[in-house]
Amino acid sequence: MDILLVPVIDVAVIALQIYTYILIASVILSWLVAFNVVNTSNQFVHSLGGFLYKVTEPALRPIRRRLPNFGGIDISPLVLILAVFLVQGILLNLKAKI
């Protein structure tokens, strides 16, 4: 039974890694929009921004509510990435014990 968990853990670790990349892409895109490097009136940028927002915002919103105001600096993606790394570490540790 335990041997069946190994592929499930592997898939979960890979999914969390992909989610980390999506979070990083979301942060980079938000910086590019904030510094007016890319224009959201471009259809591709608008679609990409909408996708990244829909994927990351449900996880970031509760973190933003609990964090104090840092004067315009949003560290919620960093907190979420650290949480993802923690979950990945727990999963990999569980896999090593199997």
User: 43-57, pLDDT tens digit by residue?
Assistant: 999 999 999 999 999
State the CB neighbour count (10 A cutoff) for residue 87: 13
pTM of the full structure: 0.92
Q: Which amino acid is at 19?
A: Y
At 77-91, the pLDDT tens digits run 999 999 999 999 999
d(CA 58, CA 69): 19
Q: What are the residue ranges spanned by the domains of the chain?
A: 2-97
Instruction: Note whether 16 and 82 are within 8 A (CB).
Output: no
